[in-house]
Amino acid sequence: MKPGAGPPSSRVARERAILRATIEELARSDYGGLSLERVAARAGVNKTTVYRRWETKADLVRAALASVAKSLRPGPTTGSLRGDLMRIGRTIREFVASFEGQCLTRVRLLEHPEPELAGMARELHARSLDEVFSLARAAIARGEIATEADMMLLVELLNGALHMRLVMKNEAADDVVIARYVDVLLHGTDRLKSKTQHDVAKRKGARKAAR
């Protein structure tokens, strides 16, 4: 009657296994193709155990998403905006590679079939963005950006590019790739432009280079 405070019995361990299996299945299948029997097999339990505990597939996935409380924690500031962005990039890379990341990315695309689940996944991901605000304030204090909205802009661009590359294009993103993105975010094309003008100057003899 009061198992809440008790030690983790075998029942909750089984439940954790099932939710974990759900996430892993959802990471390589998609919601429509998710089979509760495969989930049960992966969790090492009988399918009746799954069916008896959750009414529908949506309930199971809902519970599985709720169990993904592990948010992205980029940690304290590194002391520079560039360092912070690099760390955020690495954090995104690791998250996207994880089962939870793959799972969330898939569920978030279910807007039309399952709006509620998509909303849950969205909120779960948005929560990780809250952590970025502290880094934003540090960058503002250093005078590297003006507002927190600027930081959000940078993170949106970095996050989007990494997601596209890792999830949709299925290409790797090592630190060099991330650094390229970050450099654009910090300096835009201005650095690139000046480099080109330098080349032009070398080639054409510094004709208009003076101005």
- Helices and strands counted in the chain (H then E): 10, 0
Closest approach of DNA to the CB of residue 62, in Å: 14
When asked if residue 6 is in the footprint of DNA (CB under 7 A), the reply is yes
**Residue 53 or 108 having the CB closest to DNA:** 53
**Between 25 and 44, how does the x/- string for binding to a second copy read (CB under 8 A)?**
---xxxxxxx----------
**Residue 46 or 196 having the CB closest to DNA:** 46
**Between 12 and 51, how does the x/- string for binding to DNA read (CB under 7 A)?**
--xx-------------------xxx------xxxxxx-x
- ∠ CA 38-40-45 to the nearest 5 degrees? 145
- 156: alpha, beta or left? (left if phi > 0; alpha if psi -120 to 50): alpha
Closest approach of a second copy to the CB of residue 44, in Å: 21
Distance CA 110, CA 113 (A): 5
**Residue bearing tokens 């909303």:** 119
Interface residue with a second copy, options 40, 124, 132, 158 (CB under 8 A): 158
When asked if residue 68 is in the footprint of a second copy (CB under 8 A), the reply is no
DSSP code, position 198: H
130 half-sphere exposure, CB direction, 13 A CA radius: 6
DSSP code, position 165: I
Q: Which does 75 bind (CB under 5 to 8 A by kind): a second copy, DNA, none?
A: none
Interface residue with DNA, options 16, 28, 30, 56 (CB under 7 A): 56
Distance CA 44, CA 35 (A): 14
Distance CA 185, CA 153 (A): 9
The footprint of DNA (CB under 7 A) covers 1-3, 6-7, 9-11, 14-15, 35-37, 44-49, 51-53, 55-57
